[in-house]
Amino acid sequence: MSKIISGFSKLTKEEKIKWLAANYFNNQPEIIDTIKQYWNVDSTLQQLHDDFIENTISNFYMPYGVAPNFIINGREYVIPMVVEESSVVAAASLVAKFWSSRGGFKTEVLSTTKIGQVHFIYEGDIKTLTQYFESKKEDLKLATSSITKNMEKRGGGILNIELVNKTEKLDNYYQLHVTFETVDSMGANFINSCLEAIAKEFRNDEIEIVMSILSNYVPECLVKAEVSCKVEELGGEDPQKFAKKFCQAIQIAEIEPYRAVTHNKGIMNGIDAVVLATGNDFRAIEAGVHAYAAKSGHYTSLTHCEVKDNIFRFWIEIPLALGTVGGLTSLHPMAKLSLDMLQKPSAKELMMIMATAGLAQNFAALRALTTKGIQHGHMKMHLMNILNQLGANETEKQEIARYFEGKTVSHSAVVEKFNQLKK
């Protein structure tokens, strides 16, 4: 019997769940119970969440944690983080405390422009196209005036429109390359609306518009964060050796893509957690960041390190296109709460906060890797997850946690100890 269904989106939420249970879960009552268990008891709030996407049947919870003790440009912050991975929040918190007594994090926004493109095909003479573009350039901006009016009042809008020839890479392919400033909004809808208006004004019988869309590659929407201190202030048994190994770890990530991918993933553990907590688009951020890491043609580290004149310096430059108004940032109650917790930052300030979270996460990972190893702290944090999977009660959890104090935690060792207790 076919499970293909027409009109699924028109079913009520209850009907969707019943159909799903009947066709894919053999009508298991516990499946329906689990789905409904994650509904919010506040029906108005639940309806708000239902309306975010299509075919909603429930909510999928992620842990919401906070990392205190961050000092960024002399200002104190508690950073909200939404992430499922053990040790991420703990690592960020420890590093924040570490650098809070060493001058904190210094950050600056280097640029904030974003890009959109009208992609089109033109088979005629390039000179004729260039003349046509120059004659239409002001009209293209005027065509967006109703869209850009409010953005311009806030200091944003269209900065420039260029004609780009890409025929060497694809026959008859050209672009209108448009630069935008979107101030405190991420600006996706604004940019796409402008591009469609521009495309409509630009097309003629010889110009075939293929598509009009923003780019999530934002190398000119760039933020920098760094920390520095005297080498001896790094602490530990041998701060000189630690600084040297730390820089070597960065150098390896700069030249070895296999290491760079994992290195940058660790950075994004911190950044994505704040992106999610503030209702921003982590997929767009990820795509843009990894493209930036490969802009030289070689995928490399997003962070850098040097020791010069006995000063240890560690920094990141990263593209982050963010918003603090519009979209989920204005609709999701927890996203709004996160922005309140961050003292209602502008988009630029949020860029600096997120870059700091990424740098802190990378410092924590490299410190662990070059000293005790990454598993030492990570598996301790993972211990409770393993015990929950095994169904351990509170007494068993406490006894097993005491047993593993000062010992290396592994999944097999935890299972073995748990089975011994059960016997």
* Nearest of 269, 332, 350 to residue 59 by alpha carbon: 332
Q: Are 278 and 335 in contact (CB under 8 A)?
A: yes
CA-CA-CA-CA torsion sign (402, 406, 411, 413): negative
Q: Are 380 and 352 in contact (CB under 8 A)?
A: no
Note the Cα 364 to chain centre separation in Å.
18
Q: What is the Cα–Cα distance from 73 to 343, expressed in whole angstroms?
A: 14
User: What is the reported pLDDT for 196?
Assistant: 98
User: What is the reported pLDDT for 29?
Assistant: 86
* Nearest of 229, 211, 298, 223 to residue 257 by alpha carbon: 298
Note the Cα 93 to chain centre separation in Å.
19
Model pTM? Answer: 0.89
Q: What is the Cα–Cα distance from 281 to 275, expressed in whole angstroms?
A: 7
User: What is the reported pLDDT for 420?
Assistant: 85
pLDDT in tens, the chain (423 residues): 688 999 999 999 999 999 999 999 988 889 999 999 999 999 999 999 999 999 999 999 999 999 999 999 999 999 999 999 989 999 999 999 999 999 999 999 999 999 999 999 999 999 999 999 999 999 999 999 999 999 999 999 999 999 999 999 999 999 999 999 999 999 999 999 999 999 999 999 999 999 999 999 999 999 999 999 999 999 988 999 999 999 999 999 999 999 999 999 999 999 999 999 999 999 999 999 999 999 999 999 999 999 999 999 999 999 999 999 988 888 999 999 999 999 999 999 999 999 999 999 999 999 999 997 656 555 666 777 788 888 888 888 888 888 887 777 778 888 888 888 887
Q: What is the Cα–Cα distance from 63 to 125, expressed in whole angstroms?
A: 58
User: What is the reported pLDDT for 98?
Assistant: 98
Catalytic residues: 85, 265, 281, 378
Q: Which residues contact 289 (CB under 8 A, 6 or more apart)?
A: 264, 268, 271, 302, 318, 319, 320
